Chain A
Amino acid sequence: MTFGGLIVLAFNAILIQNVILNQFLGTCPFLGVSGKRQSAVGMGFAVIVVITLSSLVSWGLYYAILKPLGMTYMSTLVYILVIAALVQIIEMFLKKVIPSLYRALGIYLPLITTNCAVLGTAKTVIARKFNFLETLVYSFSIAVGFLFVIYIFSTLRSKIARGDIPKAFQGIPIALITAGILAMIFAKFGQLII
């Protein structure tokens, strides 16, 4: 893939096939932590690290071990173990080396194991037969798209929370409807001609 192709891939991954609004991955943490701007940003950055690393490691394991041995049926199991182990290692690393960052991101790290955007991206880079460079660009861009949307959304939600909302709509329901309107805006990016 050319350099231009990689740019298009990144642009697509961030805006058009946005991980939350178009692919519906990572909706749980999206709705869970987007109430506060600070936690949304913390979660977003932790997700960037985990998605990029876990996709690269899963990609490597798939082409180095699983595929040559004809054990691709183990891939789901292997990926989720990679993700769980990676999250654990990052947590221990941060705790020892950069305690200030650990305090900022620490509580979001365990949640990331069950963030389906992580496993979803690891599966996607294999399904779309990406090479190493494409995997790097794609997984990083997907995670940036996650941070981007979760940040926008947290600012929207802090405004909405101050509004006068019918009781039944408070919390998740109004958040989902807001996300729907945001998704409509993002769907329009798909009509940009590159």
Chain B
Amino acid sequence: MKDNSKLLNFTKGLWKENPILVTMLGLCPTLAITYKVENALGMGLAVLFVLVMSNLIISLIRHIVPDEIRIPIFIVVIATFVSIVEMVMEAFVPDLFERMSLFISLIVVNCIILGRAEAFASKHNWLDSILDALGMALGFTLVLIVISLIREVLGTGSITIWGNLAINFNKNNSPFFSNFFVSPPAAFIILGLILAGSKAINAAKAAREVKSK
């Protein structure tokens, strides 16, 4: 039973409490950077690091943090790890950083991170908090990858990851591929359709469960 609950802490972020699909948090980066799969991977990794570290630290200091000033303290902890990610990315993946530097800094105010700190890490032990962070970050990254796959393939007819892995789907210049899909309006519309899709799947699931009972 106990092991099962540990596993649940991890898996709930992937679908049942997926930060984008279900709680609909962190939509700004989801919309802004998903025009390239490469960006989605970079953002996913950055969020994974920040979320795991901040959940870990906040869980460890949860007993010494006074309730009244917990939010400012959480923000300082999160901002510290975001700044570390900024510096490391600027040093080692400069191209990627240049493209999304603003949205890397904005992980500080990403509701997913503060939300997990407040709702989970400040109430659970460090192991559960890390599992929770891993699950949430992976759930977030998976959705980013799905959206960016749709946008990059439909928008450019190809996928390029770090210049090495490149697949071209559009060999005969079909008008089906339009750079509309990499433009801002398409970001809103595609995310809207995906959220509607996940809502429909969950509703169908719920209906089936009611029936089987």
Residues of A that sit less than 8 Å from B by CB: 21-28, 31, 73-74, 76-77, 80-81, 84, 113-116, 118-120, 123-124, 127, 166-169, 172-177, 179-181, 183-184, 187
| Chain B 75-109 interface residues, beta-carbon cutoff 8 Å to A | 75-76, 79-80, 82-83, 86-87, 101-102, 105-106, 108-109
- Is B111 in contact with A28, judged by CB distance below 8 angstroms? yes
- Is B114 in contact with A114, judged by CB distance below 8 angstroms? yes
Interface string of B170-207 (1 = CB under 8 A from A): 00000000000001111111011101110110010000
CA distance A174 to B25 in the complex (A): 16
Return chain A residues, CB-CB under 8 Å to B101.
127
- Is A84 in contact with B75, judged by CB distance below 8 angstroms? yes
Chain A: CB-nearest residue to B29 = A24
Q: A76-B79, A76-B82, A116-B110 are in contact. Are A184 and B185 (CB under 8 A)?
A: yes
Tell me whether B72 is interfacial, beta carbon within 8 Å: yes
Q: A76-B108, A183-B184, A187-B183 are in contact. Are A31 and B80 (CB under 8 A)?
A: no
Return chain B residues, CB-CB under 8 Å to A172.
24, 192, 195
CA distance A127 to B105 in the complex (A): 12
Chain B contact patch, size range: 35 or more
CB distance from B207 to the nearest CB of A (A): 11
Chain A: CB-nearest residue to B199 = A168
Tell me whether B28 is interfacial, beta carbon within 8 Å: yes
CA distance A114 to B74 in the complex (A): 12
- Is A26 in contact with B28, judged by CB distance below 8 angstroms? yes
Tell me whether B133 is interfacial, beta carbon within 8 Å: no
- Is B79 in contact with A27, judged by CB distance below 8 angstroms? no
Chain B: CB-nearest residue to A21 = B184
Return chain A residues, CB-CB under 8 Å to B79.
76-77, 80-81
- Candidate in B25, B32, B71 with the most chain A CB atoms within 10 angstroms: B32
CA distance A12 to B75 in the complex (A): 32
CA distance A20 to B174 in the complex (A): 32
- Is B28 in contact with A28, judged by CB distance below 8 angstroms? yes
Tell me whether B31 is interfacial, beta carbon within 8 Å: yes
Tell me the dominant secondary structure on chain A's binding face.
helix
Tell me whether B27 is interfacial, beta carbon within 8 Å: yes
- Is A24 in contact with B184, judged by CB distance below 8 angstroms? yes
- Is A119 in contact with B189, judged by CB distance below 8 angstroms? no
Return chain A residues, CB-CB under 8 Å to B72.
81, 84
- Is B188 in contact with A180, judged by CB distance below 8 angstroms? yes
- Is A73 in contact with B87, judged by CB distance below 8 angstroms? yes
10 residue pairs, one from A and one from B, having the closest CB atoms: A176-B192, A180-B188, A180-B189, A168-B200, A24-B32, A173-B196, A177-B192, A183-B185, A77-B79, A184-B185
Q: A24-B31, A73-B83, A180-B187 are in contact. Are A173 and B193 (CB under 8 A)?
A: yes
Chain A: CB-nearest residue to B180 = A184
Q: A114-B109, A168-B203 are in contact. Are A123 and B193 (CB under 8 A)?
A: no
Chain B: CB-nearest residue to A115 = B109
Return chain A residues, CB-CB under 8 Å to B183.
187
- Is A81 in contact with B76, judged by CB distance below 8 angstroms? yes
CB distance from B202 to the nearest CB of A (A): 9
- Candidate in B75, B87, B105 with the most chain A CB atoms within 10 angstroms: B105
